[in-house]
Amino acid sequence: MTSNIIGILFDGLAYGSLLFLVGVGLSITMGLMNFINLAHGAFAMAGGYVSVYLGQKLGMSFLLTLPFAFLGSALLGLVAERLLFQRLYKATHLDQVLFTVGFVFSSIAAAHYFFGASQQMSAMPDFLQGQTRVAGVDLGKYRLLLIAVVAALTVALHLTLSKTRFGAQVRAAVDNQDAAAGLGINVGLIFSLCFALGTGLAGLGGALGIEVLGLDPGFPLKYMVYFLLVVVVGGAGTIRGPLIAAMILGIFDVAGKYYVPEAGAFIIYVLMIVLLLAFPSGLGGKRA
C-alpha cells in the first residue's frame, strides 16, 4: 500500500514536472514582461518539431536534440519578437490576445504545411524506456528524466534571475522601464532576450513532452489550457510559483485519477478554482 502511494506521488511529481516544463516559459513572457502571450504553445510545438526533425532526418539521439530544441525555439522567438511581438508591448491586453491567437492559427497552418497533420514520434533511447525498481517501487525512467531536468532548470533559472547581472537588469526593466532605461539599461534588448528565454524554454518543454503529449499541428491549442493553468495558479512572473503550482496540480491530478477515476477529468479544474480563491494573485504572489 505504501509503495502504492509512493508510486502515485512519483507519477504526480513527474506529471507536475511536465506541466512546469511546458508552462515556465510562459511565466517569463507573460509574467515578467506583462505580455498576454497565448502563442506560447506555438513555440513549444516548434521545439518539438526541431527535436523530431533532427532525430528522424539526422539520426541524432533524443537527448542531443534537446539543446537544439531550446535554441531553435529561442531563435524563432527572438525573430518573432523583433518583427512582431515588440510592436504590441504597449498595446491593450485584448489586442495582445487577438494577435497571439492569430499567431497560433498561423503556426498551426505552417506546421501543417511543413510536417503534415500526422502525429510525430520522438525516438526514445532504450535506456529511457520502461521502469527501474528503487526500494521496491517501480519508477519510470523517462519520468525520472523529467524530474531531473526540472530540478536542474529551476536552480539554473533561479540563479540566472537572482544572481547575475542579466537577472538584475531584467528585474529592473520589469519594475520600472523608464528608470531602467534612464540608468542606461537597453530595455529593448533585455526584453528580447527575456522573450527568447521564455520561448526557448517552451521549445525544450515541447521536445521533452512529445513522449506523453504527442506532437501534431493542433498542439498549441490542445494544451493551451495547461500552460495557462500553471502560470495562473502559480502566479506569473516567478519561477517558484509555477513550480509549486505544477507540482500540486500534477500530484492531485494523478492521485485523483487513480483513486477516483470517475472524477478524474475535473480535479485539476476544481483545484484551480480553490487555489485561485485562496490565492487570487497566484501561489508565488505578485512581484512588487
Sites of contact with another protein (CB under 8 A)? 4, 7-8, 11, 14-15, 18, 112, 116-121, 129-131, 138, 140, 142-143, 211-214, 216-218, 222-223, 226, 253-258, 261-262, 264-265
Q: Which is nearer to another protein, 155 or 266 (CB)?
A: 266
CB of 184 to another protein, least distance (A): 45
For every residue of the chain, which 3-state class applies, written as one string?
CHHHHHHHHHHHHHHHHHHHHHHHHHHHHHHHCCCCCCCHHHHHHHHHHHHHHHHHHCCCCHHHHHHHHHHHHHHHHHHHHHHCHHHHCCCCHHHHHHHHHHHHHHHHHHHHHHHCCCCCCCCCCHHHCCEEEECCEEEEHHHHHHHHHHHHHHHHHHHHHHHCHHHHHHHHHHHCHHHHHHCCCCHHHHHHHHHHHHHHHHHHHHHHHHHHHCCCCCHHHHCHHHHHHHHHHHCCCCCHHHHHHHHHHHHHHHHHHHHCHHHCCCHHHHHHHHHHHHCCCCCCCCCC
- The whole-angstrom separation of Cα 66 and Cα 72 is 10
CB of 285 to another protein, least distance (A): 28
Q: Which is nearer to another protein, 80 or 124 (CB)?
A: 124
- The whole-angstrom separation of Cα 12 and Cα 18 is 10
CB of 232 to another protein, least distance (A): 17
CB of 4 to another protein, least distance (A): 7
Q: Which is nearer to another protein, 48 or 237 (CB)?
A: 48
CB of 41 to another protein, least distance (A): 13
CB of 159 to another protein, least distance (A): 30
Q: Which is nearer to another protein, 109 or 168 (CB)?
A: 109
C-alpha grid cell for residue 144? 525520472
Q: Which is nearer to another protein, 138 or 175 (CB)?
A: 138
Q: Which is nearer to another protein, 140 or 285 (CB)?
A: 140
Q: Which is nearer to another protein, 220 or 284 (CB)?
A: 220
Q: Cell 519561477 maps to which residue?
A: 239
CB of 228 to another protein, least distance (A): 14
